[in-house]
Homo-oligomer: A and B are copies of this chain.
Amino acid sequence: MDFSSFLTSLGTSFVIFVVLMLLFAWLSRKPGNAVVYYPNRILKGLEPWEGGSRTRNPFSWIREAFSSTERDVINISGVDTAVYFVFLSTVLGILVLSGIVLLPVLLPIAATDDGLTRNGNTTTSKGTFNDLDKLSMANIEEKSPKLWAFLIAVYWVSVVTYVLSWKAYKHVSALRANALMSPEVRPEQFAVLVRDLPNVTPGQTRKDQVDSYFRSIYPDTFYRSLVVTNNKKVDKIWGELEGYKKKLARAEAVCEGSKTRPTTRTGFLGLCGKQVDSIEYYNEKIKELTQKLEAEQKVTLREKQLGSALVFFTNRVTAALAAQSLHAQMVDRWTVTEAPEPRELIWSNLTIKFFERIVRQYIIYIVVFLTIVFYIIPIGFISAITTLENLRKFLPFLKPIIDRNEIKTVLEAYLPQLALIVFLALLPMFLLFLSKMEGIPSGSHVIRAASGKYFYFSVLNVFIGVTIGGTLFRTMKSIEENPNSLVPLLAKSLPVNATFFLTFVALKFFVGYGLELSRIVPLIIYHLQRKYLCKTEAEIRAAWFPGDISYATRVPTDMLVITIVLCYSVIAPVIIPFGVLYFALGWLVLRNQALKVYVPAYESYGRMWPHMHNRIMGALLLYQVTIKKFYNAFCHTALEVACQELKQTPNMEQIFRSYIPPSLISQKQEDGQLEDALSRVSGTGSSV
């Protein structure tokens, strides 16, 4: 690729971005699309358009994004999102400050030397672009005193990164503290999660065991406990019940629309069996399942108690103290940690025992390691098999389709990469699955764990793989001749590879952020679903519900870009403006999306920060051991924070209730019944 073709592809991406942005400006003004472009505002009960008028400037979203304050972001999208923006603006600051010094100083120095031509180094410029290479360190002659300027530039970038990271740490720390000391009552601040309960002595219930243990340690502040039960069966019945309720609502909607009573078959998937009136049938089923559920709930609560529990305290300080403290002398008993938010608890992971968790963790680490290192082998194997020849040979019935010219062209272009594309699309899900298998008890923690794995995957494969791999292949022959030449070769080839990554970063953001902003894919899916599938209000709502901002893939991608840009910032400073553009555009587009589109699935009060912070440091290739000490304030609630006064006396019963899984909540709305069913597990002896 020469310089002009680089400019061409850059121009094309830019045009795509502009088109998508115009599309967004046009589509987002149509009232029917409001639920796609402003779902978060609608769910918050706000007008889709600020000020209520939709006949405004089509680019006012930019003004709105810039004028929004951090407080707006926290109010509308939570602390986690605000922390993500601190990350984006910190990285932006680092790159801008680096660029201001590096670009005017290093570019002229590099341009005025001519190491590339003088060394006759023509092999490396093949497949890259000569003109850009002339602006990089690759153009400096060996042992030239001009290299000192590049060394000093490394220190400048490091100092800028340290100072801005330290400021960001203090800022994020304050954000977290402010959110945690909020006078709002949040159930998770009053609870702790207790795992690894030892076996009960005969005649003792789990409930008694937990209550007596915690009451003896916290006589004044223990409230009550919620023993985790085996909800497999009750969950299944509850799922069926909910399914029939949805079907009933749908049938009623159909009935209202067409004025005829819909019918259904009672057999497998409604395809066979006796034909009956849908509404009557569903009502009957619901009644039957409700009874079954009630019975199963009682059995579950009474007989299916497992070895872990949630314990509630009457004040936040005790809960914070308990969550950070060692409770049992033996390592594999009474593990107490902070309780996650009720909505993000992974119930099935709560009862995995201590040693099993350790073993699982190591197995997962090995699996991830093998995936990162060897994923290319099965993919290469599949690619080798799925050729057009083989398709014709083993699936002869496809022959007439394959042999059509236009399809043949497309297949020839994409078939070899099909396996890789499918793999890369499924990878985040696979990593989330692996992280969940580790036995992590909360959803946000699973996302952080998956994000870390994804980061290592992308850095090792994209960055190191291309740099080292490319260098190695190109120079394999000279290495064979003289093994000692490996190190200088690597150092020499890094600058040349910079141009590849420049293209990578430059092309990535225009198309990616254009798609993000215009939401073309969700828009099409929503309209299709609404037209052909959705019958009830709940179904339509589910069709446009935007989900959360998906940190599990977004943060690692940003991290990959910052790693690339920082590493090449001194070697080829021309990469910096592209990095700035990536993060500036990202800030702008995501600000809009956070304020108007995505609905956070959990709130971890910025626990992602230490991961971001540490990887920025890692990106500097200066691993800071001390950084670990900074983790604490993000893993635990500082007591000075927890002891702030609350706005109102906490309603402990409500806090306790928020943790009861929906499948265990009695369907009948009489409170007495509910109380009775639950009291078996948690009511007795509590200090209510």
- On A, residues with C-beta under 8 Å from B are 170, 173-174, 176-177, 213, 216-218, 220, 317, 320-322, 324-331, 334, 358, 626, 629-630, 632-633, 636-643
Q: Shortest CB–CB separation between residue A636 and chain B, in angstroms? A: 5
Known A321-B321, A321-B322, A358-B626: A216·B643 in contact at CB below 8 Å: yes
Q: Does B326 contact A632, Cβ atoms closer than 8 Å?
A: yes
Q: How far apart are the CA atoms of A637 and B322 in the complex, in Å? A: 13
Q: Which residues of B contact A218 (CB under 8 A)?
A: 317
A641 engages B321 (CB within 8 Å): no
Interchain CB contact (< 8 A) of A327 among B173, B331, B334, B640: B640
Contacts A217-B643, A220-B220, A317-B217 given; does A638 touch B328 at CB 8 Å: yes
Are A217 and B331 in contact (CB-based, < 8 A)? no
Hey, which chain B residues are within 8 Å of A330, CB to CB?
A: 170, 173, 633
A631 CA to B642 CA, complexed, in Å = 27
Residues of chain B lying within 8 A (CB to CB) of residue A638: 326-329
Interface of A is mostly: helix
A212: shortest Cβ distance to chain B, in Å? 11
Inside 8 A of A637's CB, which chain B residues have their CB? Answer: 326
Q: Which residues of B contact A217 (CB under 8 A)?
A: 317, 639-640, 642-643
Residues of B within 8 A of A633 (CB): 326, 328-331
Chain B residue numbers with a CB within 8 Å of A629 are 331, 358
Known: A321-B325, A326-B633, A358-B629. 6 other contacts (CB 8 A): A220-B220, A326-B636, A331-B629, A331-B632, A331-B633, A334-B640
Shortest CB-to-CB span from A251 to chain B, Å, is: 54
Chain B residues, CB < 8 A from A640: 213, 217, 327-329, 334
> Once the chains are docked, how many angstroms separate the CA of A326 from the CA of B320?
9
CB distance from A634 to the nearest CB of B (A): 10
B-chain residues with CB within 8 Å of residue A174 when the two chains form the complex: 329
Which B residues touch A326, using CB under 8 A?
Answer: 324, 632-633, 636-639
Nearest B residue to A180 via CB reads B329
Bound Cα distance A325, B635 (Å): 11
| Closest B residue by C-beta to A173 | B329
Provide the bound-state CA to CA distance between A328 and B177, in Å: 9
Q: Kindly list chain B residues whose C-beta atoms are within 8 Å of the C-beta of A626.
A: 358
* A217-B643, A220-B220, A640-B217 known; A325+B320 contact, CB < 8 A: yes
Contact A641 B325 (CB under 8 A): no
Q: Which residues of B contact A331 (CB under 8 A)?
A: 629-630, 632-633
Are the C-beta atoms of A329 and B641 separated by less than 8 Å? yes
CA gap between A638 and B218 in the complex, in Å? 13
Residue of B nearest to A359 (CB): B626
Instruction: For A177, list chain B residues within 8 Å (CB).
Output: 329
Q: Which residues in B have their C-beta under 8 angstroms from that of A328?
A: 633, 638, 640
